[in-house]
Structure 1
């Protein structure tokens, strides 16, 4: 091989190796997602971003540098509804090959900046999450403000936390015609919100009220902050093929329950948050950990039983309006079901990957029927099992329980079972004798 050929070969090798260094990344688009207490900004790029960032004060700004990257000609404006970011702009870069982005901020924030690899419809992304350090910036929906202003003389509302799955940068599953799960779940959630807030003695609390992302591990925390009695998470299922269809209801698996209780026990702040005053009483006790374990076990047991009871009713209600994928409640380890102190269920409203069900899930009429089934199941359970300090408990005390007489039952037996006297039972039902008939329906007054 001649010297000239060798030199040419080496030159070509150097050029080939250097090409990636000369090639520039490109910002294809920028998407801004608002939420009540945070803002997410997503940069869509051709290649994996090489980035760094730092904060500046007076005024408060976040500066992000992207190495070896071209500018996007026009950056999006920031809508007035944003509580955190007032403006996104460029600034003088640290070198000719880089881009410097400046986030002008309205409040103190905690920035979280990270890259995401290509997945689904997205290419490479740089995500900038800005979390407000001042929780007072959180916005309350007009529906919730109206609900808060409802005054009950003594009895409180039963609080239902509604979690619309996915949101913002996370679209969830995507249907054959391009329908996003996050859109369907929020639409059904808002219908459920309206039904609950229209029911005297019940009130809703939305985990997310718009198209923004909420971390999975904070969704039940938000429900706890809102003092929720019950948590329902709404989703739409998907599969790799279009065949599977039908709705299903999921509750926490026993294995996950035991795991979560163990985590709470090891975290002093967590079980103090959960146990409230009981944690203060146990503070100096040598057996605090074991007492906390017992209390948490009881709390989790109650939550799981309540969740399963509601799920069983919900399956029956969903059967009236939709095809079922599973005829009984299913047990799983979903993150949103893990709270030991809040009874929780997850409802898969149908398979968005099935063309027929995708069309149904987009239908306002079908969404309304699904929301009605979810609402009816929750209401039915709490009418029978209301919290002692709730309006539902007062309403229940005003209406007698119905009992259908079965073979072998007598007035004395029923009086003993329900904790009332035989004379009271006869008086309420206007009975002139102690004789009962099979199938006879009796009113059982509250003891």
Structure 2
């Protein structure tokens, strides 16, 4: 009996040792998705189970090699969806229960490879991020520009691997935010004195921190992030606008001050003259505090303008700007607002948000609000400010001929630009000066 017990136990252990690899070796690459962006390519391997992996890079030629363990025997890679100039080919070879995947690259890239757990609509994933370190083209500093355009950074929320919220019909938030952002950009670019800068130009993933960095790199006067809201129940509906919370702003100011290498970014050319580190930090603190106050006031003013216009084309969930510590609202030196155009989780509103006509109305309302704000409060070196300065409010005793002489223009030009049928003007009237 004793011997039989050990014999049976030994057989069971042997059987388990044989079956164990078969139980675990069930992983398989189901699909490969490539998401290119201007400065990064993301490759996503969709898997049936959590990956066991390791990776390394090779040069001459440049390659990224990924080894996957416990892969289903006889597995091969599926067809790749998407393409990028950074990757020539993706190939594989198998050996028993392991697979080697090789990404042939067009140039060296400091790859980051990590696993992601299931998040609807995706299952287990192995993600490869390949930075494409091209120098960021910055707009020249404001000091050397004259009558510049007001730069609006437009951030279409989510994208690529990150679909955002999902509506009852299965529609993705990312497919609502991008069309609205593109239409808003078109309206802005048609307006003399304004220029749109798309943070995300297509359907690809972009980290929230990178979004504010891109806006800062383009010296944006305002960052507008477009999203669609969602809730666990279908009842909530309506648009809202969010601004940076004071607590988040103060925290970000502290972080930026700790990074001494960024002081020149905050101080501009002044940093070249500041040699004493204590004085540099003091000056950076002063500049950033002033900048933060200006940014938060500006964002709140813009948010109110946007709500006023959105209320004409959509139901409002919140009628006043809401303060939040959201990731994209983290730049204390850039006025930033986040616009929730509606609830994608509400079936009626999801249907409305999917409609191109409603997307156009939303984009138009955003543009109208932004244009009105900057006409009223233009940056000092902008074309809007220059145009605003060429206006004159008529005071008692002033005549058209007197104004023509003062501004060194002809009476005919004054009549023409103001569409006057005679030389008669009234006190309080605003005249444009050609």
Cα separation, partners in 2 of 1:442 and 1:62, compared to 1, 3 Å: same
Match of 2:55 in 1: 53
Match of 1:283 in 2: 275
Asked whether the 8 Å contact 1:84–1:105 carries over to 2, the reply is: yes
Q: Compute the displacement of 1:386 (Å).
A: 1.1
Match of 2:101 in 1: 101
CA RMSD across the alignment: 2.8
- 1:162 matched to 2:154? The reply is yes
- TM-score (normalizing by structure 2): 0.86
Q: Compute the displacement of 1:16 (Å).
A: 4.5
CA distance in structure 2 between the partners assigned to 1:213 and 1:441 by the alignment: 57
- 1:41 matched to 2:43? The reply is yes
Asked whether the 8 Å contact 2:31–2:46 carries over to 1, the reply is: yes
CA distance in structure 2 between the partners assigned to 1:26 and 1:10 by the alignment: 32
The C-alpha deviation readout for 1:187-241, integer Å capped at 9, x for no partner, is: 1111111111111111111011111001111101101112211100000011111
Q: Compute the displacement of 1:166 (Å).
A: 0.6
Q: Which moved more, 1:304-313 or 1:103-112?
A: 103-112
CA distance in structure 1 between the partners assigned to 2:82 and 2:22 by the alignment: 36
The C-alpha deviation readout for 1:155-177, integer Å capped at 9, x for no partner, is: 21111100001111001100010
Q: Compute the displacement of 1:424 (Å).
A: 4.6
Asked whether the 8 Å contact 1:78–1:87 carries over to 2, the reply is: no
CA distance in structure 1 between the partners assigned to 2:87 and 2:390 by the alignment: 53
Cα separation, partners in 2 of 1:164 and 1:63, compared to 1, 3 Å: same
- 1:301 matched to 2:293? The reply is yes
Q: Compute the displacement of 1:342 (Å).
A: 1.2
Asked whether the 8 Å contact 1:29–1:44 carries over to 2, the reply is: yes
CA distance in structure 2 between the partners assigned to 1:442 and 1:330 by the alignment: 37
The number of equivalent residue pairs is 403
Cα separation, partners in 2 of 1:90 and 1:269, compared to 1, 3 Å: same
- 1:184 matched to 2:169? The reply is no
Q: Which runs of 5+ in 2 are unaligned?
A: 404-425
74, 78, 102: which one aligns with 1:75: 78
240, 244, 247: which one aligns with 1:255: 247
Asked whether the 8 Å contact 2:155–2:223 carries over to 1, the reply is: yes
Cα separation, partners in 2 of 1:157 and 1:65, compared to 1, 3 Å: same
- 1:233 matched to 2:225? The reply is yes
Match of 1:443 in 2: 429
Cα separation, partners in 2 of 1:341 and 1:4, compared to 1, 3 Å: same
The C-alpha deviation readout for 1:297-328, integer Å capped at 9, x for no partner, is: 00010011100000011111110010111010
Q: Compute the displacement of 1:361 (Å).
A: 0.7
CA distance in structure 1 between the partners assigned to 2:42 and 2:57 by the alignment: 17
Q: Which runs of 5+ in 1 are unaligned?
A: 139-147, 403-420, 429-439
Q: Which moved more, 1:20-29 or 1:350-359?
A: 20-29
- TM-score (normalizing by structure 1): 0.84
Question: For 2:366, what is the secondary structure of its paired residue?
Answer: helix
Q: Which moved more, 1:35-44 or 1:177-186?
A: 35-44
The C-alpha deviation readout for 1:256-303, integer Å capped at 9, x for no partner, is: 111110111111122322222232333325332222111110001001
The equivalences for 1:318-397 within 5 A come to: 318-397=310-389
CA distance in structure 2 between the partners assigned to 1:20 and 1:165 by the alignment: 44
30, 33, 37: which one aligns with 2:32: 30
Match of 1:314 in 2: 306
